[in-house]
A and B are shown apart, each in its own frame.
Chain A
Amino acid sequence: MKIRRIALLLAAAAVLEFLVAGSRYRALWPVDWFLLATAAVARSGDFVRAVLTGAIAGFAEDAISQPMLGVNAFAKALLGFVLTLVSVRIAFGGALAVGAALGVASLANEAIVALLSALLAQSPIVLISREAIWRAVVTGITGGALEAAWNFGWRDWWKRRRLRRLR
């Protein structure tokens, strides 16, 4: 994936993060957009770019919402590597599998952040909460839907639709 496209992905993730988290409907669909951006780069199979994208996305997330800089960067860089590994080495595809992997990745992100915060800031550890599970579910659903939309044969569908109309 080209660097310009990665930058666009990260910018889109940041804008979506603010649009959703800044609105009063944030609890309805709290997608981890930065994780989706990292996963999109990981899907292309480039380990280096996936790790760096994860780190940059994590730092952006830390800068706007976390008390300690680097916790999300650590988690997302690691997840970038693991997701690339999964994408390259395992026969893997389809909206369901991608959605499930993203859901698990979101929970793992949560757990790593909680562990690092507990270790370094001596804060009470909250590994899995209802909100974390809901975030994982909606991140998985959104990722799966985006994967399905990406793989859908839009051109054929449009042609068939036009032919049906002409008849």
Chain B
Amino acid sequence: MRAPNPHVEVAAVNPRRGAVVLMVVLLSCVLILSAQAPGRGGRGATLLQSWILTASAPVTTAVGAVSHGVSGRIASTIDLFTARTENDKLRHDLDERDKELFRLRAELKQRGEARRLEAEGSALPGVVGSVPVLLLERRAGVYSVLVGAGSAEGVVPSSPLAVPQGIVGRVVAVGRNVSRAQLLLDASAAAGARIARTGELGVIRGDGRGALTLNNIATTSSVARGDLVESAGIDGIYPRGVPIGRVESVARGSKLFLEVRVTPLADFARLTDVLLLAPSPAARENPEITKGGR
């Protein structure tokens, strides 16, 4: 059959060889995946991922810094255009100074962001420091972030991450200078939660689609729309009393429990820096807790 695509290099077309290579690659993938399946050597996979994170740290950190710089400059540009309409005459007089200010603003934006975050997050318990978000991945129910801090900065598995508005997630794999964290929106993420007004305890889970559900709340509960949901401190990972979200809707479930949907307080789509909280003593004493993440 003639190859209709002009880009195709006819000499290279060999579907049979390709199929053999495909089979070998797929088989290798299945073997690697099987080795990581829960209960069958997950430790090796974590170690492998930790090595990969450490090895890729210089590149990821450098590109992440460029990315932050570029977005800082874009943000500055947007600010500049907004301000221009209001201060047109003044801007004309101070044009030279503005150019200098624009350059400096972009450089200082990142540092200022980190300081602001730490100041706003002073109400949170056990803040270790702020760390930049290098990458946020949302795919097939998996919500994960790569953060620019690792074991060298004191990050340990299960260290909670938060923003001043509320909990964001927890670290699941740690490299030397880069770590991967599972966000609370992840389809496999869960945390002990309590309704601040009524004090009832439940388990909050990500639905993998950007929302949260609060489970195990009895139908006799008086939970209402707008109620604040905060961490209960019963899961051995997240500290107690950190806001998580507000109740969006309450529906009668099929059996004994209500179906409570919660809107997260943190803006997950616009995470640029997050606060690293000290891991719970239970997580430090019991390493099994740290292996809970996917």
Contacts and interface: CB of A to CB of B under 8 A. Distances in A.
Contact of B135 (A21, A52, A92, A124): A21
Given A64-B56, A70-B36, A24 B75 contact: yes
Interface string A35-69: 00000000111111111101100000001111111
A132 B71 contact: no
Task: Please report whether the interface of chain A is mostly helix, strand, loop or mixed according to DSSP.
Answer: helix
A78 B25 CA distance: 9
Nearest to A58: B29
Interface stretch (B62-70, B86-94, B247-255): B62-70
Given A47-B13, A130-B209, A87 B36 contact: no
A50 B5 contact: no
B188 A77 contact: no
A166 interface: no
B172 A67 contact: yes
Interface of B: 1, 3-10, 12-15, 17-19, 21-22, 25-26, 28-30, 32-34, 36-38, 45, 48-49, 52-53, 56, 59-60, 63-64, 66-68, 70-71, 74-75, 133-142, 144, 146, 172, 180, 182, 187-188, 208-210, 269-272, 293-294
Given A25-B71, A124-B187, 13 more contacts: A14-B59, A18-B67, A22-B63, A22-B135, A24-B71, A43-B8, A44-B9, A65-B135, A65-B139, A74-B33, A93-B5, A113-B140, A121-B294
Interface of A: 1, 14-15, 17-27, 30, 43-52, 54-55, 63-71, 73-74, 77-78, 80-81, 84-85, 87-93, 110-111, 113-114, 116-117, 120-127, 129-132, 135
